[in-house]
Amino acid sequence: MSDCIFCKIVVRQAPGSIVYEDDTTLAIMDIHQPTTHKVLIIPRTHAVMIYDLSDDQAAAIMQLAVKIARVQREVTQCEGLSIFQSNGSVAGQDVFHYHLHLLPRFAKNDHHQDKREAFPPRETLDRMAADLRTRLEFTASE
Ligand SMILES: [Zn+2]
């Protein structure tokens, strides 16, 4: 799977704004829609669909999703948060590495709406990811 962009991010052969990582799991800011504050959670090893995950991977991903959702709410003051997967060729994806999307949702007329389509530079994305990472570490140490 040397052509898999997410596998390349895992081994740092491709850029990724890392929110969190441990032995099984990685979380990154979405490179296509960064100002939505979307975060992707991916297993370190290549799996395509949810039923391809090991029990340990599945548990780690779901537990991490809850932790990241809490810091996303803290940062964005969002009204709610969508968690979804959209994987494999049936979803029209061009990345076939399992990933979970965590997407904050805002009320109409919220100021975040105005910036949805912007594409900030990598350094902005890295800063946003670092902010989430710091808050995750702080939460974990409590
Ligand atoms: Zn992969």
Residue with tokens 């799977």: 1
pTM of the entire predicted model: 0.85
Is 140 domain-assigned? no
- Measured N-to-C along each axis, helices 55-76 and 122-140 cross at an angle, to the nearest 10 degrees, of 110
Among 99, 101, 111, 112, which one carries the catalytic annotation?
99
Domain count for the chain, please give it.
Answer: 1
CATH number of the domain to which 120 belongs = 3.30.428.10
**C-alpha dihedral (57, 19, 14, 126), degrees to nearest 10:** 170
CA of 28 to the centre of ligand 1 (A): 14
Per-residue pLDDT of the chain (142 residues; tens, 9 = 90+): 568 999 999 999 998 899 999 999 999 997 766 667 899 999 999 999 999 999 999 999 999 999 999 999 999 999 999 999 877 777 777 788 999 999 999 887 666 555 554 667 788 889 999 999 999 988 765 5
Tell me the residue range of the domain where 32 lies: 5-128
Is 119 domain-assigned? yes
Is 22 domain-assigned? yes
Q: SS3 for 2?
A: coil
Is 133 domain-assigned? no
CA of 36 to the centre of ligand 1 (A): 24
Beta strand spans in 1-142 (E):
18-21, 25-29, 39-43, 80-85, 100-105
CA of 134 to the centre of ligand 1 (A): 26
CA of 129 to the centre of ligand 1 (A): 21
Q: SS3 for 43?
A: strand
CA of 47 to the centre of ligand 1 (A): 7
Cβ partners under 8 Å of residue 9, min gap 6:
15, 16, 26, 28, 42
99 given a catalytic annotation: yes
Is 83 domain-assigned? yes
